[in-house]
Amino acid sequence: MYVFFSNPTYHHPDCSSREITMASIVSHLTSSFLSTPGFCRPSQSLHQSQKQMRCTRKSVPRTISASIDLKPTPYALDALEPHMSKETLEYHWGKHQRGYVDNLNKQIEGTEFDGKSLGEIIIASYNNGDVLPAFNNAAQVWNHEFFWESMKPGGGGTPSGELLELINRDFGSFESLVSEFTLAATTQFGSGWAWLVYKEDEKLAVVNSSNAINPLVLNYDPLLTIDVWEHAYYLDFKNLRADYISTFLDKLVSWTAVSIRLLEVQAVVALRKKADENIAELDAIIATRDNDTTEPEDPDEY
């Protein structure tokens, strides 16, 4: 299944029923992915935590700044050569991503977002499609961290295990997934991203998004992404986006990271289902109690 979305006002039809779900996703993505090669760590800095502790001890009014860090890439900047050059990473990570981080920290300083996690800022600043100024920088920081961890030196090849089974089930074959992903990345007009996602119906799908929009605000669980902003490939491939995409899939993509992300997302979905079942059970108990019109027994009659 290939879904195209570029409209930032898009809302998932079940969005309202998934508010708790998105909170759990954000929490999940900012915690459990931390131990995997499959995720970005939009963490608060240790420096900030220490500052907060000092403020608490001295009862100094709380002032937090520069709360989002530039996370290092998960490998050396030259580790993806010859398929992605050190120069590209120096610019892409060292200048573009750094710019998003710096701009975001300036934007959120002293605002309601100061001290929040990156995931929290993304969801809140998306503001149900009426985006606030911090959204683009926050989402771009998150997207790039996710992108770097979607690749590895010596990547490419084919997935295996349950991931491959689901790919075969939902796309027909791995080759079909590659075709759909390539089409989504190639046809994304202008700057944006292509994603492999896990949907609420527990099926895989390929989507693309414009500018900084990502699946977090569209109620999909992201498993893989490729950056198709021109700055991602121009130094190595000039205007040949198609060559960049095929190199990403053939030589760089980390199916290991995607498999780990799938397992974690499935675990979250299972917890989500269990929570829903418990809530339904509780509702049923309450409804039964409220509908029970039986008069209580009078102990004085005996």
Contacts of 209 (CB under 8 A, 6+ apart): 5, 6, 188, 192, 193, 194, 195, 215, 218
Q: For the CB of residue 227, give the shortest distance to Fe ion in the complex, in Å.
A: 4
Q: Is 136 or 259 the residue whose CB approaches Fe ion more closely?
A: 136
If we measure between CA atoms, which residue out of 228, 229, 184 comes closest to residue 205? 184
Q: With binding defined as CB under 5 A, does residue 193 bind Fe ion?
A: no
Is 255 in contact with 151 (CB distance < 8 Å)? Answer: no
Q: Is 180 or 227 the residue whose CB approaches Fe ion more closely?
A: 227
Q: For the CB of residue 100, give the shortest distance to Fe ion in the complex, in Å.
A: 9
Dist. CA 123–CA 18, nearest whole Å: 13
- Find the part of the chain contacting Fe ion (CB under 5 A) among 40-48, 162-170, 228-236, 244-252: 228-236
Q: With binding defined as CB under 5 A, does residue 100 bind Fe ion?
A: no
How many CB atoms within 10 Å of residue 192? 23
- Find the part of the chain contacting Fe ion (CB under 5 A) among 77-85, 164-172, 225-233, 293-301: 225-233
Q: Is 227 or 264 the residue whose CB approaches Fe ion more closely?
A: 227
Q: For the CB of residue 174, give the shortest distance to Fe ion in the complex, in Å.
A: 26
Dist. CA 177–CA 107, nearest whole Å: 39
**Nearest to Fe ion by Cβ — which residue?**
227
Q: For the CB of residue 71, give the shortest distance to Fe ion in the complex, in Å.
A: 14
Dist. CA 194–CA 259, nearest whole Å: 18
> Distance from first CA to last CA of the chain, Å, rounded?
70
Q: Is 80 or 265 the residue whose CB approaches Fe ion more closely?
A: 80
Q: For the CB of residue 51, give the shortest distance to Fe ion in the complex, in Å.
A: 30
Q: Is 80 or 167 the residue whose CB approaches Fe ion more closely?
A: 80
Q: For the CB of residue 96, give the shortest distance to Fe ion in the complex, in Å.
A: 5
Q: Where would I find the H helices in the chain?
A: 19-29, 46-58, 86-91, 98-108, 118-126, 134-148, 161-171, 174-187, 234-237, 241-247, 255-291
Q: Is 253 or 262 the residue whose CB approaches Fe ion more closely?
A: 253
Residues 131-160 that bind Fe ion (CB under 5 A): none
Strand order of the β-sheet with 192-198 is 2-4, 204-210, 192-198, 221-227
**Residue type (1 letter), 289:** R
The DSSP bridge partners found for residue 151 are 253
> Which residue among 145, 149, 227, 264 contacts Fe ion (CB under 5 A)?
227
Q: With binding defined as CB under 5 A, does residue 229 bind Fe ion?
A: yes
Number of amino acids touching Fe ion (CB under 5 A): 3
Residues that bind Fe ion in the complex, under the rule CB under 5 A: 227, 229, 232
